[in-house]
Amino acid sequence: MGRAARSSAPAGRARRTGAWALLARNHLAVAGLGVVTFVCLVALAAPLLPLADPNATAPADRLLRPGEGGHLLGTDALGRDLLSRLVWGARVSIAVGLSATLIAAAVGSLIGLVAGYAGGRVDNWLMRGIDMVMAFPYILLALAIVAVLGPGLLNALYAIAIVNVPFFARNIRGITLGLARREFVDAARLSGKSHPRILLTEVLPNVLPVIVITMSTTVGWMILETAGLSFLGLGAQPPQSDLGSMLGEGRRVLFTHPHVSVVPGLAILVLVMGINLLGDGIRDVLDPRLKSGALSRPVARTAVRRTAVPERQDHPGAVLELQGMETEFHVGGQVYRAVGGVDLHLAPGECVGLVGESGSGKSVTAMSVMGLVPTPPGRIAGGAAWLDGSDLFALSDEEIRQRRGRDVAHVFQDPLGTLHPLHTVGAQLVEAIRAHRPMPRTEAEAAACDLLALVRIPNPAERMQAFPHELSGGMRQRVCIAMGLANDPSVLIADEPTTALDVTVQAQVLALMDRLRRERDSAILFITHDFGVVSAICDRVAVMYAGRIVETGPTDEILAAPAHPYTDRLIACVPVLGAPDRRLEAISGRPPVVNALPPGCAFADRCPRARDECRVGDIALVEQGGGRAVRCLFPMEREVADG
Amino acid sequence: MGAYILKRLLAVIPVMFGLTLIVFLIMAMIPGDPATAILGSYATPENVERLNRQLGLDRSLPEQYLIWLGNLLQGDLGRSYSLNRPVLDEVTERFGATLILAGTSLVLCSILGLLAGVVSAVRQYGWTDKVVTFVVLIGISTPSFWLGLLLILLFAVQWRLFPASGMYAIYGGGDLPDLLHHLVLPAATLSVVATGVIARLTRTAMLEVLRQDYIRTARAKGLRESRVIWRHAFKAALVGVIPVIGIQAGFVMGGAVYIETVFQWPGIGSMLVTAISTRDLLLVQGGVLVVAAAYVLFNLCADVVQTLLDPRLR
């Protein structure tokens, strides 16, 4: 589901054309833009403004406080008007900061482009040099350069620019390295373009956003650092002055007349803060990875927003019952109904397969039960999940936490990503045990070791000390299963537990799960897209399409005689051993996007048997007897019976 | 693990040589006659001549470098003409003070920055997050030298809580409480920017980690949220933040130049500023070399800590 939500092409196009609109929506960035524009305009217009001469000394008016003698911000130790000096000083500071940024960007980008494009030895040597420069503490190198060139504003500018070259070189090189091996660059090379031209016309336009991002995030720094050098007396020399040297002069009368140093410092703060706000805004717009919302933190539990709690329909003997469960994703004003009312029940020791293509909502169904769907953007919008008679969606966060792993455990698809890379598997198992059964560590370690033996891991005591990346895929999945079984849960939800494994290991893991559920009487909800796996382990099967169950019934019967055309096509996709000539038919078309479901049957557009009636109204899941039900107006079985 | 540390240690050697080369080349960039630059424009021609010979400046550049490097390896950084004492003595004496100031700041900014970053990420878009983000933004936009002046005005002049300058009281000081008392304001000022940078990166790293599948696993196991955040998410985020803390060591040691000047802290930073204005280039050279070497060693430590945390790097 998440995939469907992210890969909407129109949204991508909107982002590119609406960069300004996106920036405008970021209030902080707009505020930053306002500040920067204002300061820059004032600085530019300094000669036109009715300001006093910034260098006109007036010993009689020395050190006036703000407002005194017609001086809005007061005067400094030589009686010069502070407001006027502030405006002229800002002019110098901005000019120096911008120039340093441009020099650093030009030199650094050039180095980065050449290094990334040329690769090999050139890249190696250039980057070694850059690393050497970066091995110096930032400001110290600038100091050394100023020490050699001598104090002065221009020398400070060079020093700051040189020190910032590595940031540009590194960032640009990284991007160029990736681009230099792309097809369009190869094509340009084959068409006979010279290297400099390719760099300029093909590569540069693509790295420009990165250059802009790096500029917008470093220009504030550079203004701060040049101000710092001037403050130390190593930058602007009298009579020339920038904000930093004003601050340095003000320091001499700090105790008696603090306003002389407070004012220019405040000006630097406001200017740099404006630049940083704007820079962050620009970065967010240009760097899609950091686009706001992309880094939303999922909270501990899926939000529940039910309008009504359904009346419980009891299935005698069931341990877990899903009733009309609905899960939605709210992304950018769109509502994706990933799960649109699912009914499902599990008896102890029973294994139910939940089958469907990717995007059908089967994983979201599985995650919804214990509130593991990430919020934002997910939320449970309706229905109920009854575990031993209590409504899971009505429990408090703490109550649901206590049931996770103890009553309902999960095994996920990718065992490398789902195990914590920095903890040993033993520690992770011990943690799972002690989360619900407080016991001494040594005791838990023994129990964890037993669990590893239970899932047939050789040398369990030794493996306890292993990190996940040191184990094979099959071993890792066994560890995950052991972790799921740590507290003898009554329900095990396995989300494609064998998909990432190769076929022989797959068979072993399936056999293991089958044995364990018989021995321990746990119910298993088995999510898969593979009917071959279903036939191996599941008692019953439920087929999902576009967020709803379209067919359910005992595995053997459904495999033998599917009633829904979709089930039929899914089964036809499974290769049969020993029948290499059998045609494997892919299902043409794609599942509908769940934010714009068609009325009627969601499968109608891909169904060869669809008629006009299929495209109107809601089609119900109809009981067919024998535990079977199908959501189809013209199920296959009846047609077969009709002859 | 031991082999890895050894490998990293060996890799430091070429970097150290690179440092000396860059420092040497910068010094070779001096416009005009270096000996005159070092001795000042009032030097007698005989003195200039002698220093030129002494420094080997009448030879080719590579030869000069090797001679210089040889002296350096023997601990000879030359003689400071303004202080009339060996550069090495002055630098080592002052380096201790810088280490105390920068070290304290680094500890302070690491703790505060990590904490602020985690809290901010966990309360994403909440008011705590907004406040932290805004304070952090002010922190990284503030000129630290100005902040130092403000703190002196408020805490030293207005409220008389802390001394405005120096490392020890002139009369009757010299013990640890006295040092700490003097340390508060400069260390706090110096750590502000680094705290902001670390907080920002920690927040991003935490948000990145919190979306990982293993966090979902931790929650599916029924762990308490505090354990999920600190033992699972924070540990993974820390691996990414530690190199940044290493880089911040450089910013803190560089920023010490301002703060030592503002608070008249007798460290390398204030020494450098004085040395630059008196054109005592050998002293500048020695100070820069020592601080840069310390920075390289600190980054080595950061690397080792990162490897200890992350078994995949071993």
A587-599, pLDDT tens digit by residue? 777 777 777 787 8
Look at B228 and A300 and tell me if their CB atoms are within 8 Å: yes
Same-domain pairing of A143 and A286: yes
Q: How many of the other CB atoms lie within 10 Å of CB of B128?
A: 14
Q: Residue A408 forms beta bridges with which residues? A: A404, A491
Distance CA A493, CA A174 (A): 42
Contact B312, A469 (CB under 8 A): yes
A58 CB-contact burial (10 Å; exposed 0-12 / middle 13-18 / buried 19+): middle
Q: Give the pair of three-digit tokens for residue B151.
A: 């703190």
Please tell me which residue of chain B has the smallest CA distance to A469.
Answer: B312
Please tell me which of the candidates B122, B222, B235 has its beta carbon nearest to residue A406.
B222
Distance CA A206, CA A369 (A): 45
Q: How far is B192 from chain A (nearest CA, A)?
A: 14
Please tell me which of the candidates B150, B220, B254 has its beta carbon nearest to residue A405.
B220
Look at B15 and A135 and tell me if their CB atoms are within 8 Å: yes
Percent of chain A past pLDDT 90, that is, above it, reads: 29
Cα-only R_g, chain B: 23
Q: Has residue A472 got a pLDDT over 50?
A: yes
Q: If you average pLDDT over residues A513-532, what whole number do you get?
A: 88
Closest-CA residue to A327 (of A292, A374, A282, A290):
A374
Residue B314 sits at the chain A interface (C-beta within 8 Å):
no
Distance CA A296, CA A375 (A): 9
Which residue in the block uniquely carries the two structure tokens 């000394």?
A57
Q: Residue A528 forms beta bridges with which residues? A: A355
Contact A467, A387 (CB under 8 A): no
Instruction: Give A277's contacts in chain B (Cβ within 8 Å).
Output: 137
Contact A119, A179 (CB under 8 A): no
Q: How many of the other CB atoms lie within 10 Å of CB of B2?
A: 6
Please tell me which residue of chain A has the smallest CA distance to B262.
Answer: A251
Q: Has residue A551 got a pLDDT over 80?
A: yes
Q: Give the pair of three-digit tokens for residue A414.
A: 């990718």
Using one digit for the tens of pLDDT, what is the confidence trace for A477-486?
889 989 988 8
Ordered by start, the domain boundaries in chain B are: 2-73, 87-313
In a domain, A400, yes or no: no
Residue B143 sits at the chain A interface (C-beta within 8 Å):
yes
Which residues of B, range 246-285, sit inside 8 Å of A by Cβ? 249-251, 253-255, 257-258, 261-262, 272-273, 275-277, 281, 284-285
Residues whose CB falls within 8 Å of the CB of residue B265, separated by 6 or more in sequence, listed in order? B97, B98, B101, B165, B166, B167, B186, B256, B259
Using one digit for the tens of pLDDT, what is the confidence trace for A175-231?
898 888 888 888 888 888 888 898 888 889 889 988 998 898 899 999 999 999 999
Task: Count contacts between A and B (CB, < 8 Å).
Answer: 235
In a domain, A449, yes or no: yes
Instruction: Give B260's contacts in chain A (Cβ within 8 Å).
Output: none
Distance CA A52, CA A73 (A): 12
Please tell me which residue of chain B has the smallest CA distance to A219.
Answer: B141
Distance CA B278, CA B265 (A): 19
Contact A80, A99 (CB under 8 A): no
Distance CA A637, CA A621 (A): 15
Please tell me which of the candidates A128, A147, A374 has its beta carbon nearest to residue B284.
A147
Q: How far is CA A242 from CA A54, A229, A231, A541, B141, in A?
A: 11, 11, 9, 76, 17
Q: Which domain holds residue A256?
A: 96-290
Q: How far is B180 from chain A (nearest CA, A)?
A: 24
From the candidates B23, B221, B278, B284, which should be mutated to test the interface with A, based on the most A CB atoms within 10 A? B221
Q: Has residue A414 got a pLDDT over 90?
A: no
Look at B276 and A418 and tell me if their CB atoms are within 8 Å: no
Q: How far is B251 from chain A (nearest CA, A)?
A: 6
In a domain, A232, yes or no: yes
pLDDT at A575: 67
Under the banding of pLDDT at 50, 70 and 90, the label for residue A312 is: confident
Q: How far is B11 from chain A (nearest CA, A)?
A: 12
pLDDT at A6: 38
Look at A254 and B140 and tell me if their CB atoms are within 8 Å: no
DSSP class of A388: T
Distance CA B248, CA B102 (A): 10
pLDDT at A422: 93
Distance CA A487, CA A499 (A): 25
Residue B222 sits at the chain A interface (C-beta within 8 Å):
yes
Instruction: Give A155's contacts in chain B (Cβ within 8 Å).
Output: none
Under the banding of pLDDT at 50, 70 and 90, the label for residue A585 is: low
Q: Has residue B98 got a pLDDT over 90?
A: yes
Distance CA B254, CA B263 (A): 15
Look at B275 and A147 and tell me if their CB atoms are within 8 Å: yes
Which residues of B, range 52-111, sit inside 8 Å of A by Cβ? none
Whats the size of chain B, residue-wise? 314
Please tell me which residue of chain B has the smallest CA distance to A226.
Answer: B143
Contact A328, A5 (CB under 8 A): no
3-state secondary structure of A409: strand
Q: If you average pLDDT over residues A413-429, what whole number do you get?
A: 89
Look at A467 and B23 and tell me if their CB atoms are within 8 Å: no
Q: How far is A291 from chain B (nearest CA, A)?
A: 12
Closest-CA residue to A281 (of A6, A34, A9, A98):
A34
In a domain, A191, yes or no: yes
Whats the size of chain A, residue-wise? 643
Kind of pairing between the strands at A491-495 and A523-528? parallel
Distance CA A618, CA A340 (A): 12
Residues whose CB falls within 8 Å of the CB of residue A135, separated by 6 or more in sequence, listed in order? B15, B18, B19, B292, B295, B296, B299
pLDDT at A617: 80
Closest-CA residue to A52 (of A74, A84, A30, A20):
A84
Q: If you average pLDDT over residues B66-82, what whole number do you get?
A: 85
Q: Three-class SS string for A69-120?
A: HHCCCCECCCCCEHHHHHHHHHHHHHHHHHHHHHHHHHHHHHHHHHHHHHCH
Same-domain pairing of A127 and A264: yes
Under the banding of pLDDT at 50, 70 and 90, the label for residue A102 is: very high
From the candidates A141, A246, A420, A436, which should be mutated to test the interface with B, based on the most B CB atoms within 10 A? A420
Q: Which helix (H) or strand (E) holds B244?
A: helix B235-262
Same-domain pairing of A124 and A272: yes
pLDDT at A637: 60
Instruction: Give B271's contacts in chain A (Cβ within 8 Å).
Output: none
In a domain, A338, yes or no: no
Percent of chain B past pLDDT 90, that is, above it, reads: 43
Q: How far is A392 from chain B (nearest CA, A)?
A: 14
Under the banding of pLDDT at 50, 70 and 90, the label for residue B55 is: low
Q: Which helix (H) or strand (E) holds A559?
A: helix A555-560
Please tell me which of the candidates B153, B213, B311 has its beta carbon nearest to residue A254.
B153
Contact B283, B82 (CB under 8 A): yes
Using one digit for the tens of pLDDT, what is the confidence trace for A489-504?
999 999 888 877 778 8
Class of domain B87-313: mainly alpha
Please tell me which residue of chain B has the smallest CA distance to A432.
Answer: B221
What is the longest distance spanned by two Cα atoms in chain A? 114
Please tell me which of the candidates A262, A405, A422 has its beta carbon nearest to residue B311.
A422
pLDDT at A18: 63
In a domain, A608, yes or no: no
3-state secondary structure of A385: strand
3-state secondary structure of A343: strand
Please tell me which residue of chain B has the smallest CA distance to A368.
Answer: B220
Using one digit for the tens of pLDDT, what is the confidence trace for A121-177?
999 899 888 888 888 887 888 888 888 888 899 999 999 999 999 999 998 998 898
Distance CA A10, CA A20 (A): 17
Q: How far is B70 from chain A (nearest CA, A)?
A: 20
Using one digit for the tens of pLDDT, what is the confidence trace for A348-397?
989 999 998 888 888 899 999 999 988 878 888 888 898 888 888 888 88
Give the residue from A462, A488, A514 where a domain finishes.
Answer: A488
Q: Residue A523 forms beta bridges with which residues? A: A491
Contact A602, A592 (CB under 8 A): yes
In a domain, A463, yes or no: yes
Instruction: Give B144's contacts in chain A (Cβ within 8 Å).
Output: 228
Please tell me which residue of chain B has the smallest CA distance to A141.
Answer: B288
User: Average pLDDT, whole number, for chain A?
Assistant: 85
Q: How far is B126 from chain A (nearest CA, A)?
A: 12
Look at A435 and B221 and tell me if their CB atoms are within 8 Å: yes
pLDDT at A419: 92
Closest-CA residue to A620 (of A311, A320, A343, A325):
A343
Under the banding of pLDDT at 50, 70 and 90, the label for residue B32 is: low
Q: How far is B81 from chain A (nearest CA, A)?
A: 15
pLDDT at A577: 60
Look at A269 and B138 and tell me if their CB atoms are within 8 Å: yes
ipTM: 0.89
Q: Which residues of B234-258 are buried (b: 16+ CB within 10 A; e: fewer)?
A: bbbbbbbbbebbbbbbbbbbbbbbb
Under the banding of pLDDT at 50, 70 and 90, the label for residue A581 is: low
Residues whose CB falls within 8 Å of the CB of residue A602, separated by 6 or more in sequence, listed in order? A545, A546, A547, A548, A591, A592
Q: How far is A638 from chain B (nearest CA, A)?
A: 43
Which residue in the block uniquely carries the two structure tokens 């080997």?
B56
B70 CB-contact burial (10 Å; exposed 0-12 / middle 13-18 / buried 19+): exposed
Q: How far is B147 from chain A (nearest CA, A)?
A: 8
Look at A231 and B29 and tell me if their CB atoms are within 8 Å: no
User: What is the layout of strands, in order, in the sheet containing A540-545?
Assistant: A408-411, A491-495, A523-528, A351-355, A540-545, A548-554, A628-630, A622-625
Q: If you average pLDDT over residues B27-41, what whole number do you get?
A: 70
Phi, psi torsion values for A285, nearest 5 degrees: -75, -40
Please tell me which residue of chain B has the smallest CA distance to A272.
Answer: B141
Q: What is the CATH number of the domain that holds A210?
A: 1.10.3720.10
Contact A333, A408 (CB under 8 A): no
Give the residue from A464, A488, A512 where a domain finishes.
Answer: A488
Which residues of B, range 176-215, sit inside 8 Å of A by Cβ? 204, 206-208, 210-215
User: Average pLDDT, whole number, for chain B?
Assistant: 87
Under the banding of pLDDT at 50, 70 and 90, the label for residue A638 is: very low
Q: How far is B271 from chain A (nearest CA, A)?
A: 12
Q: Which residue has the higher pLDDT, A403 or B44?
A: A403
Q: Has residue A426 got a pLDDT over 90?
A: yes
Same-domain pairing of A283 and A419: no
What helix, strand, coil percent values describe chain B, rounded to 5? 80, 0, 20
Q: Has residue A4 got a pLDDT over 60?
A: no
pLDDT at A591: 76
Q: Three-class SS string for A272-312?
A: HHHHHHHHHHHHHHHCHHHCCCCCCCCCCCCEECCCCCCCC
Q: Which amino acid appears at position A95 of this protein? A: A
In a domain, A472, yes or no: yes
Give the residue from A444, A473, A488 where a domain finishes.
Answer: A488
Distance CA B36, CA B18 (A): 27
3-state secondary structure of A323: strand
Under the banding of pLDDT at 50, 70 and 90, the label for residue A542 is: very high
Residue B151 sits at the chain A interface (C-beta within 8 Å):
no
Please tell me which residue of chain B has the smallest CA distance to A132.
Answer: B18
A396 CB-contact burial (10 Å; exposed 0-12 / middle 13-18 / buried 19+): exposed
Contact A497, A413 (CB under 8 A): yes
Look at A232 and B149 and tell me if their CB atoms are within 8 Å: no
How many domains are there within chain A?
A: 2
Look at A273 and B138 and tell me if their CB atoms are within 8 Å: yes
Contact B123, B129 (CB under 8 A): yes
Please tell me which of the candidates B210, B220, B224 has its beta carbon nearest to residue A410.
B220
pLDDT at A16: 45
